[in-house]
Amino acid sequence: MNIIVDGRYQIIKRLGKGGFAHTYLAKNLTAPGAPPCVVKQLRPKVEHPRMLQLFNLEAATLNRFKHSQIPQMVECFEHQGDQFMVQDFVAGDDLSKEFTIGHQWSEAKVVRFLREMLQVLGYVHQQQAIHRDIKPANIIRRWDNGQLCLIDFGAVQDLDSDSLAPTIVVGTPGYHAPEQAEGNATFSSDIYALGMTAIQFLTGHYPLHLPKDEAQEVIWRDLTSISDRLAAILERMTRVDEICRYESTLAVLADLETLPLEAPDDRQMWSDRFLAAESSHQQLTSKIMAIAVLLGMGLFSTAGIVNRVQSVPVNVGGEIMR
């Protein structure tokens, strides 16, 4: 692919194709060394009067965010009648790559995951924003330091703005909370989605495939072996009735503080982590060299680098579009 947008951004590879936008890996030809970046193009499958508003809202929200674990928005511009957004590129793999059906994360790993993501999500909420699409594919683990980054704010809701009507439903089935499916997302809706993501990693099953009881609560406890304390925290994070759910990320973090940093019987995890650290260092060196070579050639074919927009369902006329 050898397309140059607006004479400044050379498109290298398409990273994702969502319900209303395409995302590409590109080179910024105007910056020293032509560093990689992410270019997002508004291309809705079905025209909807709110699509451009969602696109502009994402740009405005990212523009005011200043957090090391959230990609920064570089600029927005129009080219040949199309709308584009440029964001920082995060070199890493999204967590959907770490998930395999039947494979279960340890309790200690999930606790560390929750503690880190709750801090990032807490920052988003402090900015009076609701992400509305928390899921493994929208969380990237950096190659260089293993840090988790939250991406894809295409479904974001800005509580300081009245630009979005409640009739627009966004999110991903299995992760979004019941009230969000009705167009009434709150901070606790993000907490619900993060809890369902943790349950997915603990059980080795996609949330959408888990059974439910008469009250529509997800049944998952018998699929994993974790402490009753962590189970109680996750159950409260994912209550169907938002009144029974945690209201803030700080409240969840406070309860997580009562859990040990490492599970006492998790020695194998420490061994695995040590081996993984050595392997990761070697892989990182190889990947960085490969990126430098490929970008210099104007090519890119490595499937492991992901910073893409996922499909965002949009309810239009009673039908959910992806």
Catalytic residues: 133
Distance between CA atoms of 185 and 170, rounded to whole angstroms? 9
Residue 319: Cβ-neighbour burial (10 angstroms; 0-12, 13-18, 19+): exposed
CB 164 within 8 A of CB 157: yes
Distance between CA atoms of 199 and 201, rounded to whole angstroms? 5
Alpha-helical segments (H) within 211-266: 228-237, 249-256
CB 34 within 8 A of CB 28: yes
Residue 297: Cβ-neighbour burial (10 angstroms; 0-12, 13-18, 19+): exposed
Q: Which two tokens stand for residue 318?
A: 């009673």
Residue 137: Cβ-neighbour burial (10 angstroms; 0-12, 13-18, 19+): buried
Q: Which two tokens stand for residue 58?
A: 């994402």
